[in-house]
Amino acid sequence: DHININYKDPNAGYDYTDIDTITDGAGRVYKLTYAGSQLRKIEYKGSGSIVICQVNYIYNTEGYIQTVTYNDNSQVSYTYSKYSGYSISDRIATATDISGYKMQYTYSSGPASKVTRVQEIGTGGVNGDYMTIDYSQDKTTFTDSKGNKEIKVFDSCGNTVSSTDGD
C-alpha cells in the first residue's frame, strides 16, 4: 500500500507545493482547495466521489487562521494580539475549542516576546488553572497555579541538560 500525492498545476497559477489530492493505500481521497496560497478546505471523499466530511479554514486580514469549521458546523477559533508599535497581530492570544473551552496566552514585552502565562478559561468564562513561565539565562521555570515548579536547564546550544521539579 502507498500514498499518492497529486499537486496543483503551477501553470494554472498555483504554487508548485500546493497539494490537489491525497489518496491513501485504501483508495480514500482527500481534496484540498486553496484561495491564493491559503488552504481553504479539505474534503474527505472516502473511496467514492461523494464528500463525506469537510473542514473549512477562514483567515484573518493578516493571513492567520481565525476559524476552523468542521462537517457538523462545530468550530475552533483563534485570536491574535500584536506587539505595541507593530501593525501585524502575529501572536496567538486565545484558542477556543468546539465546546467553548479557551486557552489564553500572555507574552513578555518586546518584538522577540515569549509566552509568560497560559490561562485556562472554562466554557462559562470561569478562569481555571494557569501556568507561568519565567525565562532566564540558560534556564526556564514553569510554575502552575498550585505553586508546583519545573525547572529546565539548557546548554549553550539550547539542549536540555537537566529537568527538576523545583523543590
Q: Yes or no: say if 131 and 145 are a contact pair by the CB < 8 Å rule.
A: yes
CA distances to 81, 92, 93 from 60, rounded to whole Å, are 12, 12, 13
pTM beyond 0.85: the answer is no
**HEC profile of 94-132:** EEECCCCCEEEEEECCCCCCCEEEEEEECCCCCEEEEEE
Share of the chain above pLDDT 90, in %: 57
How confident is the model over 13-27, as pLDDT tens digits?
777 778 999 999 888
Q: What is the pLDDT of residue 13?
A: 72
Residue 5 to residue 58: CA distance in whole angstroms = 24
Low-confidence ranges of the chain (pLDDT < 50): none
Residue 43 to residue 32: CA distance in whole angstroms = 7
Q: What is the pLDDT of residue 68?
A: 97
**b (16+ CB within 10 A) / e for 134-143:** eeeeeebbbb
